[in-house]
Structure 1
Amino acid sequence: MKHGKRPTRAQKIRIKSLGLNPDNWLVVKDCRECFQVVHKVSGKTRKIGGQA
């Protein structure tokens, strides 16, 4: 499993718009087609956009 990085300000706004708390999520992948974040504590991954 990849390690996530702290989100930038723009990514925090994007995470918040999804109804998530940006303080609890790390960004694993951020490309034009998809946005993938992982929860800091539970390790659950969410993939937003693109083909699931």
Structure 2
Amino acid sequence: MKKGKKLTRNQAEMIKATGFDPEKWLVVKNLHDRMEIVHRETGNIRVIAK
């Protein structure tokens, strides 16, 4: 499993806008067109388009 990093304020707002709870997600990759996030407890990975 990839290790995630704590969210910045802008990243948390983007995750909240997609309907996810920012407190339960960590950032794995932050690219210019998408952001990969991983769930803190289950390890599920999601991709969010910017």
Q: Give the TM-score normalised by the residue count of structure 1.
A: 0.87
Runs of 4+ more than 3 Å apart:
none
Which residue in 2 is equivalent to 1:14?
14
The alignment yields a C-alpha RMSD, in angstroms, of 1.4
Unaligned runs of 5+ in 2: none
The aligned runs of 1:35-50 (5 Å cut-off) are 35-49=35-49
Which protein, 1 or 2, shows the higher relative CO under an 8 Å CA cutoff with sep ≥ 6?
A: 2
- Bigger proportion of residues as strand: 2
Query: CA shift at 1:33, angstroms?
Result: 1.9
Unaligned runs of 5+ in 1: none
Which residue in 2 is equivalent to 1:26?
26
Q: Give the TM-score normalised by the residue count of structure 2.
A: 0.90
